[in-house]
A = this chain, B = another copy of it.
């Protein structure tokens, strides 16, 4: 159109880096980070991140290169979320629970130029290094966070603070040329096989940081307790959202019920989040660990929910529970359960726990969510019954899987990201997740949700944990097989579980044919490794 001029004045590539630059002016003297005796203001955090970016450039980290971290939720780890992109590099926070062989596999795939290692993880990293082959590329440079260098580290290991002091104050921050350039790589938890490297763009990270704020109606200057690992989808994008809001990051090395209650009282925490195991920790806290909470605290969990008994217990302490549904490929939790008109009437009773704990609908910044037949790509009816595959579309979806174009192309189909999750659509539009596609059972031609079966068995008063998988069957295709962990000091037989399911009126196709007792194999996020159970189920006789 005549008169239009797209230029630097009216077009700036979207990047979370902008949030930090603005925070310097708007919240410059306010606190950004508190960790034990250390604290910084937003001005100080910005200055440290600039020096970090400068230092990375000086030691040869060029735009487009990868910088990895293996660290808990410390101030340094927070700073790296900005410092690495500000050097034009791509940031990858690795799972701290990886063992040396798994870490070596990840590093081989990631090829980072520099790795920042917290002193807690020196041993794991040096063992992983021994397993790495450096035939083609130079070994990554190590930077040690905290502690002192030790003999197991390579010769050219740098100290984090020494590195920082190399940096120049007047370094010119490198903004992305294209907002779709990668900012970070986050590995999936690998509950269905090998972890995949999920690539985020500056644009998606920027928009999801805003989405995070909208989802929880967050106001300016919140106080955020770091109970979600920064290596999970970049801490659900909270490092960047906190800069946008000028909030305070309460950094933590370890998350216990005692630390949660104490932090809330000392720092007036407003938000914390993480896997549902956080709710278990709070609910099972000892009386001497519990504190009277000065105000309501929003706690946001994503993943399979614990019993409503646990949730109500947590709620009674003064926590307001939100449930998110998402995945690494969608930058973390991405649905929210908006309170609708009718819901607001229930605002103050326990019903609210239930309302908040549906998968819900997509947030403001996600373009669309749907449940579709993956073959025909037609939407399922809003009947709460018809199962289809949950799909997303929008700017808060990954760019793809690192060095795995085939994997990328497999999950993008017809303009949608296919989650691999099965779900239904409620009459009000809410999505309800029913099962992982890989985990669901097809028995006598009918798709059965293992999650629905587990939900019923979990209400048995003796049951602590349960996982249901399909067991191959010559006649029916598959039949449900339940693996059950009982609470301490309780005992039960297979028929006890089967009869309980019958009493609860589970349809015949959903009643387990086999029940096994024992502990369940889990990954580091507490997700049950069903592929292991499926193998076990094959070996069980009737």
Contact = CB atoms under 8 A, between A and B. Distances in A.
Contacts of A250: none
Nearest to A402: B3
B244 A19 contact: no
A25 B6 CA distance: 34
A352 interface: no
A450 interface: no
A384 interface: no
A358 to B, nearest CB: 13
A210 B395 CA distance: 15
A364 to B, nearest CB: 5
Given A338-B26, A340-B29, A395 B12 contact: yes
Given A1-B399, A10-B417, A28 B412 contact: no
Nearest to A8: B415
A199 B26 contact: no
A203 B8 CA distance: 15
Contacts of A401: 3
A19 B415 contact: no
Interface in A458-494: none
B368 A21 contact: yes
A26 B408 contact: no
A502 interface: no
A180 B13 CA distance: 12
A371 to B, nearest CB: 12
Contacts of A539: none
Contacts of A403: 2-3
Given A11-B180, A29-B341, A5 B412 contact: yes
Interface string A8-22: 111110100011011
A219 B217 contact: yes
A208 to B, nearest CB: 12
Given A9-B416, A10-B399, A221-B341, 12 more contacts: A2-B402, A2-B403, A3-B405, A3-B408, A5-B412, A7-B412, A8-B415, A9-B392, A10-B398, A12-B367, A22-B364, A26-B338
13 contacts: A1-B399, A1-B402, A2-B405, A3-B405, A3-B408, A5-B412, A6-B180, A10-B394, A12-B367, A22-B361, A22-B368, A26-B361, A246-B338
A461 B331 CA distance: 59
A258 to B, nearest CB: 28
B399 A6 contact: yes
Contact of A9 (B28, B221, B362, B412): B412
Contacts of A219: 217
B399 A12 contact: no
Given A3-B407, A204-B10, A26 B429 contact: yes
A39 interface: no
A45 to B, nearest CB: 15
A218 to B, nearest CB: 9
A397 interface: yes
A30 interface: yes
Contact of A415 (B7, B400, B412): B7
Contact of A395 (B14, B339, B361, B362): B14
A399 B4 contact: yes
A27 interface: yes
B30 A340 contact: yes
Nearest to A395: B12
A27 to B, nearest CB: 7
Contacts of A405: 2-3, 5
Contacts of A214: 213
A9 B397 contact: yes
A220 B10 contact: no
A322 to B, nearest CB: 13
Interface string A169-197: 00000000000101000000000000001
A361 B25 contact: yes
A404 interface: yes
A367 B18 contact: yes
A27 B362 CA distance: 12
B340 A9 contact: no
Contacts of A4: 182, 199, 399-400, 408
B28 A429 contact: yes
A313 interface: no
B341 A30 contact: yes
A362 B29 CA distance: 17
A365 to B, nearest CB: 8
A110 to B, nearest CB: 11
Interface in A212-267: 213-214, 217, 219-221, 244, 246
A437 interface: no
Contacts of A416: 9
B3 A199 contact: yes
A409 interface: yes
Contacts of A397: 9-10
Contacts of A392: 9
Contact of A19 (B220, B341, B364, B368): B364
A393 interface: yes
